[in-house]
């Protein structure tokens, strides 16, 4: 059982990730703020308490893998990797600029610590399944963690993969859906209503859970339950807020990709630097 002190430590780590992510965006004045900020609590748990990784050996064969299928959330992953020591935090200031190693979407050929290149949404399901199956065939004990967007689940490739992973009983695959209720063009319920995603994956023979995606304690508990499964892949639906921790993004209807002023970014950064009390203002 996770202790309260460990939970507080992970909350601090999440706040650090949000801070460095916002600094990345401030250097540009635009970017995929909403979907980056909504998965940061998950990243804090995975990289702060769960995943077996080694920053000195980013391609260590027995590591756990993370597939960021919603690749536009790369800035949040880059900040996490920097804070874990994969590269200097100062490098993040080159986000999405000419010659950068930190493109708008994740690219394993450019960024140290990124396990899989992601582009067209939906493809991450297939690549994650390939990694999980390959590691099982090689008798590795590693886990593959997959992050999907809720709007991304409109893609047929996601459901084809869901069928295959269940058929192959890939219990070493644990997926997460960032259910922030929005996609590029608006609310998911208005564009293509997804209904109950946990129920859908359960019907596809996945071990499915639905939790508060901003609660690090719930995230850890859900992962622990997922690891008890021996015959099924797992899917954890994270109820999140798009733009969480960034006041100007949280309060915007269209917050998938945004332009903003330096003053807006500075205000968010100042609140995050002030700690939990400042972040809640």
- Cα 166 from Cα 18, distance rounded (Å): 34
277: pLDDT strictly greater than 80: no
Q: State the helix-helix crossing angle for 123-137 and 156-167, rounded to 10 degrees.
A: 20
236 backbone dihedrals φ, ψ, rounded to 5°: -115, 115
Looking at residues 25-32, what average pLDDT do you find?
Answer: 93
281: pLDDT strictly greater than 60: no
Q: Give Cα 123 to chain centroid, integer Å.
A: 15
- Cα-based distances in Å from 100 to 72, 94, 112, 241, 264: 16, 6, 12, 29, 25
Looking at residues 57-78, what average pLDDT do you find?
Answer: 97
Taking alpha carbons only, the member of 239, 160, 154, 157 closest to residue 191 is: 154
- Cα 87 from Cα 80, distance rounded (Å): 10
Give me the DSSP letters along 223-255: HHHHHT-SSS-EEEEEE--TTTT-HHHHT-SS-
pLDDT 10s digits, 179-208: 999 998 899 999 999 999 999 999 999 999
84: pLDDT strictly greater than 70: yes
Phi-psi region of 140 (alpha: psi -120 to 50; beta: other; left: phi over 0): beta
Report the chain's mean pLDDT, rounded to a whole number: 95
pLDDT 10s digits, 87-129: 999 999 999 999 999 999 999 999 999 999 998 899 999 999 9
Please report which residue ranges of the chain form alpha helices under DSSP H: 4-28, 33-37, 40-45, 74-83, 123-137, 156-167, 188-191, 197-203, 216-227, 247-250, 262-273, 276-279
Q: Give residue 280's pLDDT.
A: 42
For 105, other C-beta atoms within 10 Å of its C-beta total: 18
- Cα 21 from Cα 200, distance rounded (Å): 32
| Structural domains for the chain | 4-279 (3.40.50.970)
3-state secondary structure of 104: coil
- Cα 20 from Cα 89, distance rounded (Å): 8
Task: List 186's β-bridge partners, or say none.
Answer: 183
- Cα 47 from Cα 243, distance rounded (Å): 20
Confidence (pTM): 0.96
- Cα 125 from Cα 29, distance rounded (Å): 31
Q: How confident is the model at residue 139 (pLDDT cuts 50, 70, 90)?
A: very high
278: pLDDT strictly greater than 60: no
């Amino acid at each position: 059982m996770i202790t309260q002190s460990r939970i507080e430590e992970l909350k601090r780590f999440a706040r650090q990730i949000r801070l460095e992510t916002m600094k990345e965006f401030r250097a540009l004045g635009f970017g995929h703020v909403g979907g980056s900020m909504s998965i940061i609590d998950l990243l804090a748990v995975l990289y702060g308490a769960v995943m077996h990784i080694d920053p000195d050996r980013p391609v260590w064969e027995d590591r756990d893998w993370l597939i960021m299928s919603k690749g536009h959330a790369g800035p949040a992953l880059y900040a996490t990797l920097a804070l874990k020591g994969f590269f200097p935090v100062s490098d993040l200031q080159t986000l999405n600029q000419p010659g950068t190693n930190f493109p708008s979407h994740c690219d394993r050929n450019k960024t140290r610590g990124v396990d899989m290149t992601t582009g067209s949404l939906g493809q991450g399901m297939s690549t994650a399944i390939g990694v999980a199956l390959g590691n099982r065939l090689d008798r590795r004990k590693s886990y593959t963690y997959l992050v999907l967007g809720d709007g991304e689940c409109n893609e047929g490739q996601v459901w084809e993969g869901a069928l295959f992973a269940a058929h192959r009983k890939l219990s070493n695959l644990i997926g997460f859906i960032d259910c922030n209720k929005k996609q590029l063009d608006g609310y998911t319920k208005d564009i293509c209503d997804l209904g109950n995603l946990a129920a859908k994956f359960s019907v596809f023979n996945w071990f499915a859970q639905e939790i508060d995606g901003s609660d690090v304690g719930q995230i850890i508990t859900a992962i622990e339950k997922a690891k008890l499964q021996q015959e099924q892949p797992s899917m954890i639906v994270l109820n999140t807020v798009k733009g969480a921790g960034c006041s100007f993004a949280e309060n915007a209807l269209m917050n998938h990709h945004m332009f903003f002023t330096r003053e807006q970014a500075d205000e968010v950064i100042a609140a995050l630097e002030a700690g939990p009390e400042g972040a809640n203002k």
